[in-house]
Chain A
Amino acid sequence: KQEVTQIPAALSVPEGENLVLNCSFTDSAIYNLQWFRQDPGKGLTSLLLIQSSQREQTSGRLNASLDKSSGRSTLYIAASQPGDSATYLCAVLYGNNRLAFGKGNQVVVIP
């Protein structure tokens, strides 16, 4: 079964600290992995997409790594800000063209 797990489910950090969000997947036969941001009651905003042949992607304060062999990805958010408070979703595109989502990491950055 193609499962995606995100740990921790929720976390709170003081402003300025770095955030580390973890995603694990059970089937390593992936095409790509994507991190999204979702604000309460809103749709998805794509943050970073890592192809299966890549090890990491960076955009501003965000860095996502991918270790396909161990079935893990990590999203780093440097110097967190209150505006980073949201739920972060990890999604894996598998060979059967299915996009499997984790339940998300709910983040609160405390001013």
Chain B
Amino acid sequence: GAVVSQHPSWVICKSGTSVKIECRSLDFQATTMFWYRQFPKQSLMLMATSNEGSKATYEQGVEKDKFLINHASLTLSTLTVTSAHPEDSSFYICSARTGQGQETQYFGPGTRLLVL
């Protein structure tokens, strides 16, 4: 149980285009989902926290107009990288948990984004 999927697993796009990444909880309802970014040999950095049906809370330094997050249902959250640039190339990982407390976060397999 507690499986989280991401789609696509990798994507290559041209600079200036937008890319959408999906995160799904397959066998549980995720009240809260998280989006992380990981650069090579760096730790995972939290980008934003989203609760179903409400606006996402972004971490300091993360542009909310560039990284659009939608958490429209209890099993799906999407991250859209708008007008992507090469510096947005990274490994994006989502996680999900059932409540808003200290429950375990279950992580997706990640999406590798390369912007040319």
Q: Do A and B bind each other?
A: yes
Neighbour of A31 across the interface among B91, B102, B112, CB < 8 A: B102
Interface of A is mostly: strand
Contact A103 B43, CB 8 Å, known A32-B102, A93-B102, A97-B101: yes
B109 within 8 A of A: yes
Alpha-carbon distance A99/B95, docked complex (angstroms):
11
Q: Per-position contact with B for A82-111: 1 when CB-CB < 8 Å, else 0?
A: 000000010101000111011110100000
Inter-chain residue pair count (beta carbon < 8 A): 43
Main secondary structure of the interface of B (DSSP, over half): loop
Q: How far is the CA of A36 from the CA of B41 in the complex (A)?
A: 15
Further pairs besides A43-B107, A103-B42, A106-B41: 19, Cβ < 8 Å = A31-B102, A34-B104, A36-B107, A42-B109, A43-B109, A43-B110, A44-B107, A49-B104, A89-B44, A91-B44, A97-B100, A97-B101, A97-B102, A98-B46, A99-B46, A99-B105, A101-B43, A101-B45, A104-B43
Residue numbers of A with Cβ under 8 A of B are 4, 31-32, 34, 36, 41-44, 46, 49, 89, 91, 93, 97-99, 101-104, 106
